[in-house]
Amino acid sequence: MNDVDAIVVGSGAGGLSAALRLKQLGASVLLLEAMPSFGGYMNPFRRNGYIFDTGVHYLGKLAPGGSFQMLLQLLELDKAVSFIEIDPDGFDRYHFPTFELRMCKNRAAYQQRLLSLFPDDEKAIARYFGVIDRLLSAFSDPHGPPKTWLDRIRYILRHPVLMKYHRATYQRLLDGITRNPNLAAALSAHCGNCGLPPDRASAFVALMLLDHYMDGAFYPKGGSGALRDAFVQALERNNASLQKRTPVTAITRRQGRFQITTARGDTYTARTVISNVDPIITLRDIVDPALVPRAIKKKIARMTPSAGAFYAFIGTTMDLSAAGMTDANLIHYGHDSVNRTYSAIDQRAPTDPFPYFFMTSPSLKDPESGHAPEGHHCLEIISGLGHDHIFQQWRRTTVSRLRGEAYQELKEEVGMRLIQSAERYLPGLSKQLDFVEFATPLSNAYWVNSYEGANFGPDQTPRQFGPGRFMDCRAGIEGLFLAGAGTISGGVLGCMASGVWAAQQAVDHLDGKTK
């Protein structure tokens, strides 16, 4: 199939959603994936009898009526994959030096939990949730998103909260709510999900992340691979053409049709293209520069990626339940200030303890799906490294085994220090390792083609929220659309929504004349 209505480049959550929605709308589709497996961050890996997730650790908005649930229904996947609810009384356990906060299901319950921790801050907590209410009201405006300048003026007049915070950091929002540093830390605890401290994160992003989990947190039964497989099987049933190990090296346009060239020298043509590859890579390195408008080139030049992360994938003989772990995620902050913790990440020496890490166990969240051999557990520990991390010197060498012994030794040293840092919660873990594999931001850059190993696409700062990214999924080139973390937002839900929206626009571009 060398000529189709639509070609989708990349098979992360955005690309798979785009391809499936295109098929539902009647287009002929070719999906091209560079790696040996589909799925991007939804692609797990298996080692020595253990199955590890690379990016899907928990999901929100899956309760009845939730936006994620409705998106699955639209894609006709709601019956193909099921979800396990993580402990509703505390699916995130945030550990600070002087207090612990357990994030729970239900907004009223969470608000009461904050009040029990900070009884003298009732008014501040009420102000905080009032801002959330006004923001959600704006985002669910029945008049829909503004389409003209006059619409925008009316929209802002109806929702002044947008004018107040659209360029604000989350810290600025918090400064207007409370002077209690511990309450500010508690209200910032979830910022790890966007990879930024409150003094850099967009206020809107931080509030939407909190709201994302207010109706509970869920894990796909069978792990991230079950969600990926539901997409792939649906595409195969709908006769989409799927190709792995097919890196796209060039996108150009000739005689009104896009021409795609792969690393093998094969060419494919289509009337429309959706790229799930990072916008910086798509528009700077793959698309013919002559097609890219000057304004888009300037936008790309201004964009900055989010920071990368370091991963420890562990198979252990330790009884994690007996050691105190549950199906909840455990998040460690080394300081009562989240901003200070992030500064410590940037300043950390290789032998220092990790000031921040996220720890989760797929075998505890889903004990019946064979994530680990009988009597064993799999454990994943993740920590940020900052932008100027110690592995940058090898970024030009794309293949891990070619980076030499120095890289491998440093990776091992950093990884074992991360495991030792986690032993404050799991004493003796380093002596009960059955399997361990470490991954750096360079691993991300290779396996999911993220720009500079970024974990969340472009940094979700105020400047790169909304119009600062490619929120409309348009690339500035007629017939070429974008999906993934560089569009609406990072995270599985945002990426899936971008794929659906890009597909709808691509079909509109086709004028309904499909093959």
CATH of the domain at 226: 3.50.50.60
Half-sphere exposure of 133 toward its Cβ, with a 13 Å CA cutoff?
8
Q: Is residue 285 part of a domain?
A: yes
Return the CA Rg of the chain: 23
Instruction: Please report whether residue 458 resides in a domain.
Output: no
For residue 112, CA distances in Å to 104, 116, 152, 187, 454 come to 10, 6, 36, 13, 36
3 state SS of 207: helix
515 residues of the chain, pLDDT tens digit each: 589 999 999 999 999 999 999 999 999 999 999 999 999 999 999 999 999 999 999 999 999 999 999 999 999 999 999 999 999 999 999 999 999 999 999 999 999 999 999 999 999 999 999 999 888 887 775 655 566 666 666 666 676 777 788 899 999 999 999 999 999 999 999 999 999 999 999 999 999 999 999 999 999 999 999 999 999 999 999 999 999 999 999 999 998 899 999 999 999 999 999 999 999 999 999 999 999 999 999 999 999 999 999 999 999 999 999 999 999 999 999 999 999 999 999 888 877 899 999 999 999 999 999 999 999 999 999 999 988 888 999 988 887 888 999 999 999 999 999 999 999 999 999 999 999 999 999 999 999 999 999 999 999 999 999 889 999 999 999 999 999 999 999 999 999 999 999 999 999 999 855 44
Is there a contact between 5 and 34 (Cβ–Cβ < 8 Å)?
A: no
| Same-domain check for residues 316 and 446 | yes
Contact assessment for residue 209 and residue 136, using Cβ atoms and an 8 Å cutoff: no
Q: Are residues 325 and 437 in the same domain?
A: yes
User: Distances in Å between the alpha carbon of 441 and those of 51, 156, 199, 233, 481?
Assistant: 20, 39, 23, 30, 27
Measured CA to CA, the distance from residue 284 to residue 261 in angstroms comes to 16
Q: Locate tokens 């792990």: which residue?
A: 223
Q: Is residue 461 a part of any domain in this protein? A: no
**Contacts of the segment 283-287: beta carbons below 8 A, 24+ positions apart:** 283/475, 286/9, 286/248, 286/249, 286/250, 286/251, 287/251, 287/252, 287/475, 287/477, 287/480
Tell me whether residue 515 is in a domain: no
Tell me, yes or no, whether 102 and 134 share the same domain.
Answer: yes
Q: Please check whether residues 271 and 289 belong to one and the same domain.
A: yes
Residue 186 inside a domain? The answer is yes
Phi, psi of 26 (to 5 degrees): 100, 5
Tell me the C-alpha distance between 210 and 191, whole Å: 9
Residues 314 and 239 in one domain: no
Question: pTM for this structure?
Answer: 0.95
Q: Are residues 328 and 423 part of one domain? A: yes
Answer whether residue 18 is part of any domain: yes
CA distance 464 to 427: 41
Question: What pLDDT is stored for residue 51 in this prediction?
Answer: 97
Are residues 173 and 104 part of one domain?
Answer: yes
How many domains is the chain built from?
A: 3
pLDDT at 44: 97
Assigned domain for 462 exists = no
CA distance linking residue 182 with residue 119, whole number of Å: 12
Together in a domain, 105 and 212: yes
Beta bridge mates, 275: 9, 482
The range of the structural domain enclosing residue 244 comes to 3-80+221-303+469-510
- Residue of 214, 19, 5 whose CA lies nearest to 114: 214
Task: Look up residue 144 and give its DSSP letter.
Answer: -
Q: Give, rounded to a whole angstrom, the gap between the first and last alpha carbons of the chain.
A: 12
